[in-house]
A and B are shown apart, each in its own frame.
Chain A
Amino acid sequence: MTVSTSRRGFLKGAAATGAVLLVGVTPKGALAAGDSAMLNPFVKIGADGSVTAIVKHFEKGQGPATGLSTLIAEEIGLRMDQIGYEFAPSNPEVYNNLLFGPFQGTGGSTAMANSFMQYRQAGAAAREMLLQAAAESWGADAGTLTLEDGVISGSGNSAPLGDFVAAASELTPPAEPRLKDPSEFRLIGNPDVRRLDSKIKTDGTANFAMDVYLPNQMIAMIKRPEQRGALATGFDDSEAKTVKGFIRAAVLPNQAGVVAYAENTWAAMQARDFLIVDWDTSAAEARSSDEIEAEIRAALDAEPTYNVNKTDMAATQAAIDSADKMVEQTFYFPLLAHAPMEPLNCTIEPLADGGIILHDGAQMPTGPHMALSQILDLPMEKIQVNTMLAGGSFGRRATPDADYQVEAGLAFAMTDRTRPVKLVWSREDDLRSGYYRPAFGHKVRVGLSADGDIVGWEHRIAGQSIMKGTAFESFAVKDGVDHSSVEGAADTPYQIPGAHFGLTDAEKATSTLWWRAVGHTHTAYVMEVMMDMAASAAGIDPVDFRLKYLAGDGSDQTRMAGVLKLAAEKAGWGNAPTGRSQGIAVHKSFGSFVAEVVEVSGNPEEGIRIENVTCAVDCGIAVNPDIIAAQMEGGIGYGIGHTMRDRITLTNGAVDQFNFPDYEPLRIGDIANIDVHIVPSAEAPTGVGEPGTPPSAPALANAIAALSDMRVSTLPMNENGVAWA
């Protein structure tokens, strides 16, 4: 996995091994091939016929390395064992996320959605050029030749594609290569296609950023304040000096903490702990989570600041007030940490020419690339980003302010810049000094007619905005409304009569950040628990009740109803074994539709056990069905684990949790079984990394309500009346 990251270096390095066929796009977006210095390829074919996909998205487990390689292999005509992959260098003009603008990054479950046509076109262009080269060499018509399993055949000839790489690299790529018709797909949609990274992740050879060990490197760890936002003004390192391997300590230029430099990780950990730091807490956060919760709950009782859909709130209220029945519930969602398995870290390696390499599981390489350019006063082209495998992220590695890469940059800048500096976080750093899924509250009133029809839905949301105050504010916030605060509620596919959505921002006591499925983590819970409560008040089956509001013939409604019915059918909805009960939820997020049925046994006092989760997903064309199933399994586990027992709390501005024992991850025995069913579809592929998460928590809540009449409306569940078996 060595990617030389300067454009010129990349191409020369490749050319040195013989003629190479590179197919990619120019900065103008046009397909191009050959040895042009302007070309950044998506596919590279060596003289020996070896094919490499250049993957522009980072791999944190969701499978884009396999997925994008599959697209190239499919269109060229290769088996999966005939393609390898490399991660692309940082170049936001070429390797940008097509849905993010001129910005290279992975997020919002967009890796496949934005790459599907682009990578197929690159593969298809390479195929046509190879066939053309073979045709010229054999004096045949290219249209009569085929390319299967890496072999070109026709006109009585047959030869491996490697024989035509040199000739193909001289050709001009077709402007519009013919893409395979879905009926011709052999790899896309094939459940037997395996991940390309399974082997290295089972034999210890996979390299994560934490595994970077460069000659002469230093380890840097940062002592951070207990009270968030306190500033370091000085320190006493006399005890740290007793640690063998401790080099020195220094206050960060932004006073956010004190860096301990050491020869190895264990020395850095010990020395860091021994530092006694003077903190200026005058501007630090002093509130506790109880006060944050009180502020949010109070906001729900006041007139909302923003009328999200510009609808008539008074009319909605009047309809509810005169309705036959009314159901009402207030919800509260705590701060949550992402806690990816690999603690955050990155390494800055100085180069002889004064430039640097950032070795990083970089989710949004453009951010740290620009930040380091400023901090170290280096032009962009003197900075290379070596994107490594990431040990999970769930959003944490993509901060708008490139937080940990900036720390590494500052720590490196305070040295003489001759030794590599590896910044390492501990799990405590991760849980206590991180960025959190914001706290949110919802208050909903639903009015029902005597026939059990919804006549009004008044929905207030109050919480801490993610986008406001960040570089993303300008495109994510419209008319004051941070869309990520209301997504999944205000834009629900349900056709609800008399709906009104109001939003009020709460003060931020911590840094807030997208967390797997972002706003949907709380909006799906509220929408789907309210739907269940309304169905129950109406005396109608929860599936039938939902279907009433998905009756339109819009594609969203049809697809949402489709997964709802499939999940219900596969789960044996309504026929739970004795002693068990079921709950259902359905939600659209990131373009995909997911319904889940959770089946539980036991009771809330002595312990609930999650016996089964049945999931149905419609994410358009299923490029890799097995990876989609894995993402649903993982998304469900992530959602349910935090719902069961996790929260971050603050006391006087300091986080109360330290390590996993206080932020207990989902364990293997927590969910006995998960089944995933994929809806066949010809729609363009949409996200799978996040959409499995939103319906899991409300389906669990609805299952518990079916078992015990207990409606859990404040999370996590274990703090609010539910014991786990």
Chain B
Amino acid sequence: MTFSLKLNGETHEVDAEPGTPLLWVIRDELKMTGTKFGCGVASCGACTVHLDGEPVRSCQTYIDDVEGVEITTIEAMSDTKIGAAVQQAWVELDVVQCGYCQSGQIMSAVGLLSENPKPSADDIDSYMAGNACRCATYQRIRAGIQRAAEILEA
């Protein structure tokens, strides 16, 4: 079946079976590999993308439900003000280790800063609770979000 997807400002026609998780459409069909597979059951956050600006787990979002919705992935984050600030903070603080979870971390961090420009440590801990990092870079994720808030305020 053909679906029409609006992704990072472009429209893509993709051929996929109904019920296919958006994650696999993005990766296998569009070959955009920044969005990662970690668990497939919405418990790690590696696959986080934005739908109309809201972070969602793309492994549990189905292609049937996203027609007409603006989908944004990590590849387009540097074009947004908040995304660029988060990326800058991440590089300044060397947040990453293996890096595999970090696309998802950044997508969630941008979601948090969009609704809460000055999050406290507790705000961060509760908003980011669904994004697992097996390398345990959490200390720097917390600092990175606060640094991005500073950059945005300046």
Contacts and interface: CB of A to CB of B under 8 A. Distances in A.
Interface in B63-80: 73-75, 77-78
Contact of A665 (B29, B134, B142): B134
Interface string B9-45: 0000000010011001001110111111111110110
Contacts of A208: 33, 36, 100
Given A199-B91, A203-B74, A204-B74, A210 B36 contact: yes
A343 B37 contact: yes
A230 B27 CA distance: 34
Given A668-B141, A669-B126, A202 B96 contact: yes
Given A61-B98, A342-B36, A634-B137, A202 B90 contact: yes
B39 A660 contact: yes
A660 B41 contact: yes
B33 A211 contact: yes
B96 to A, nearest CB: 4
A392 B134 contact: yes
Nearest to B141: A668
B128 A668 contact: yes
A287 interface: no
A660 B138 contact: no
Majority SS of interface residues in chain B?
A: loop
A285 interface: no
Interface residues of B, number: 58
Contacts of A201: 96, 99, 102
B59 to A, nearest CB: 10
B22 to A, nearest CB: 11
B35 A204 contact: yes
A59 B100 CA distance: 12
B5 interface: no
B94 interface: yes
B134 A339 contact: yes
Given A204-B34, A668-B138, A634 B97 contact: yes
Given A202-B91, A665-B134, A668-B129, A61 B38 contact: no
Contacts of B77: 203-204
A205 to B, nearest CB: 7
Contact of A197 (B33, B99, B137): B99
B41 A659 contact: yes
A446 interface: no
Contact of B103 (A204, A267, A392): A204
Given A202-B91, A341-B44, A665 B96 contact: no
B131 interface: yes
Nearest to A205: B34
A626 interface: yes
17 contacts: A202-B102, A204-B35, A204-B75, A208-B100, A245-B17, A266-B17, A340-B98, A341-B36, A341-B100, A341-B135, A391-B98, A427-B41, A630-B137, A630-B140, A638-B135, A666-B136, A668-B131
